[in-house]
Structure 1
Amino acid sequence: MIKIYHNYSISKKSYIHVGGRVKTYCECDDLYESIKYLKNKNFISIGNTSKILFNFSYCSKLFFCFTNKKIVFFKDVFFAYSGISLYELYFRLKNKNITGFSLLATIPGFLGGSIVNNSSFKEQCISDLLIKILVFQDNKLIFLSKEELNLSYRNSSLKKDNLLIIGGYFKIIKGSKENIKKEFLLANKYRLEKQKFTFNSLGSTFKNTEKYQIGKILDNLSLKGYIFSKSVKVSPLHANFILIKPYSSSKDVNNLIKFLEKVLYNYLGEKISKEIQIINKDGRE
């Protein structure tokens, strides 16, 4: 089923409830209906938006969300559609004694966005068991192998407009249902202890590198808990997280990110990449 909205407040879709209006927002759970609608259109594909800041008051772009949550099982692999959340994916796989996703289940994202960001938590990464993905690009369905995605630490070559991830094929690794559940509970406990926030957050703002743990650096610079405005501040628990009250100004969030970028550049002498994706009125930053 396809749903189309015009002059839509994207804050309703935003994970942090921040953002202006878009000319058109569409969501659909049917593959062929989605392809038919998107054919010959320019669009920005979004998912759960747990790593996206919509930094505009109005954007004339078409925003599209593919919401199919199905999983298809084969002998040694399974195909999962991109609209499924990582928690639901873990839960349904656990019931079939399939392991490899219990730590990732604590990440509040959809599978599609997690592939785009090459999401990871501790020793698990979404691409560990990934074989290939199916995308809609240039008005056709295309298979891309894992090697074609240029995967690196929380990054890929998929961060572009006019590309929709349909889903991915993953290897099936069997495990004990009890151990799979235990892994998830321990990971979730860690999350709640280290990252329990009263405000919304987009998670890590900047990417760690082999040389730098950004949260520790910002903490050493006395920026943990730094209050930027009444509605936006640096987390008092984790200095690489920004806490945002619902319906805050995206300008405040973006300005705090720019401030932290400048501080890090002045201190380290090099630019640190953002983990958060920013979409401005003209598209992805």
Structure 2
Amino acid sequence: MNQEILDKINTIIPGENILGDEPMSRHTTFRTGGPADCFIRISSKDELSKLISFLKKENIDYFITGNGSNLLVSDKGYRGVIISMTGLDELKVNGNHIYAGAGVLTSKVAQSALLNSLTGMEALAGIPGSVGGCLRMNAGAYGSEMKDVVESAEIMFGDGHIETIPVDDLKLRYRGSRMADENLLVIGVTFSLFTGEKNSIEEAMADFASRRRDKQPLEYPSAGSTFKRPEGYFAGKLIQDAGLRGFSIGGAQVSEKHCGFVVNKGGATSKDVMDLIRHVQKTVLDNSGVKLETEVILLGDFD
């Protein structure tokens, strides 16, 4: 990215929040990925709106990210601007409602709910993503989904204006949403919870956390569950039945603890992960006739 463009960006974003040739391995939970031309941490809605408007005017590609927990970035990096939403970190409680900016970790919302004796977030407490990304994909765990606890969301449309949209108009469904369909940006989310008993909430959270530790490979970098659940099946069971438990390519491995997870056992590249994902998809298709789709978002050139 040339200096003239960077200088113009610097009139919108403070220089300390602009990083050039930034390794995306620092910003994804897979801990893989090559350098982005420019990595920008925005800290306000106004900055975001102005920055996107400028990038569109200059025909510069950009990608919005939060905690990078559902993202696999090519080893070649990303030719454009990565916009990090982690600076949208407002978190406030009002009665049985919690407002969280898009960059707030969902786990932090759950902790805030616990501190305020509010129930509803217990099953979602272990999800590693930020609020914006979790809403966009309607993240869920243990029978609970974002759509069950969200009242409304602040959404930025393509022209930069922001509206508060009620949950019924967000088209939340299994790993999908209106935001994904229409490429809309989540700015913040209002959660609607119920008053509960603090000890019971804490016990439930501890139980879900224990189940995660027992069944999921939390000790290794990953993007969480790698594949969507095929209708009528479980991805992990299909992968296990195909004989792929523990199968590795380079530093990437089908988890021995939970076959639905591809993990970075150490030194994995994004190519290792992608090659393993493709191998799993082909082997499962050959073995069971079921086509596995990824939950993970792919960014950059994987050819």
Same fold (TM over 0.5): yes
Of 15-24 and 70-79, deviating more is 70-79
CA separation of 1:265 and 1:123: change in aligned 2, threshold 3 A:
same
Q: Which residue of 2 aligns with 1:7?
A: 21
Aligned equivalents of 1:209, 1:58: Cα separation in 2: 30
Aligned equivalents of 2:239, 2:122: Cα separation in 1: 30
Aligned equivalents of 1:83, 1:238: Cα separation in 2: 28
What is the deviation of 1:130?
1.2
Q: Map 1:1-285 onto structure 2 (within 5 A).
A: 2=14, 3-42=17-56, 43-67=62-86, 68-75=88-95, 77-138=97-158, 139-159=160-180, 163-229=184-250, 231-245=251-265, 247-281=267-301
Aligned equivalents of 2:80, 2:138: Cα separation in 1: 25
Q: TM-score, normalised by structure 1?
A: 0.90
CA separation of 1:270 and 1:189: change in aligned 2, threshold 3 A:
closer
Aligned equivalents of 2:200, 2:96: Cα separation in 1: 21
Higher strand proportion (structure 1 or 2): 1
What is the deviation of 1:198?
4.0
Amino acid at match of 1:175: G
Amino acid at match of 2:22: Y
What CA RMSD, in Å, does the superposition of the two structures yield over aligned residues?
2.2
Is the Cα–Cα contact under 8 Å of residues 60 and 281 in structure 1 kept in the other structure?
no
What is the deviation of 1:22?
1.0
Amino acid at match of 1:11: S
What is the deviation of 1:27?
0.7
Of 152-161 and 61-70, deviating more is 152-161
Aligned equivalents of 1:73, 1:202: Cα separation in 2: 29
Q: TM-score, normalised by structure 2?
A: 0.85
Deviation by residue 1:219-276 (Cα, 9 ceiling, x = unmatched): 12211111222x1111111111111145521111101111111122223334222111
Deviation by residue 1:153-190 (Cα, 9 ceiling, x = unmatched): 12224237964311112213111111111111001011
Give the SS at the match of 2:72. Answer: strand
Amino acid at match of 1:60: R
Aligned equivalents of 1:149, 1:13: Cα separation in 2: 27
Aligned equivalents of 1:214, 1:79: Cα separation in 2: 34
Of 161-170 and 90-99, deviating more is 161-170
Q: Indicate the structure whose relative CO is greater, using CA pairs within 8 Å and at least 6 residues apart.
A: 1
For structure 1, the residue ranges without an aligned partner over 5 or more in a row are none
For structure 2, the residue ranges without an aligned partner over 5 or more in a row are 1-12, 57-61
Percent of aligned positions with the same letter in both sequences? 24
CA separation of 1:11 and 1:276: change in aligned 2, threshold 3 A:
same
Amino acid at match of 2:155: V
Aligned equivalents of 1:40, 1:256: Cα separation in 2: 38
What is the deviation of 1:197?
4.5
> Which aligned runs of 4 or more in structure 1 are off by greater than 6 angstroms?
none
Deviation by residue 1:205-226 (Cα, 9 ceiling, x = unmatched): 1111331111111112211111
Of 78-87 and 113-122, deviating more is 78-87
Aligned equivalents of 2:114, 2:206: Cα separation in 1: 13
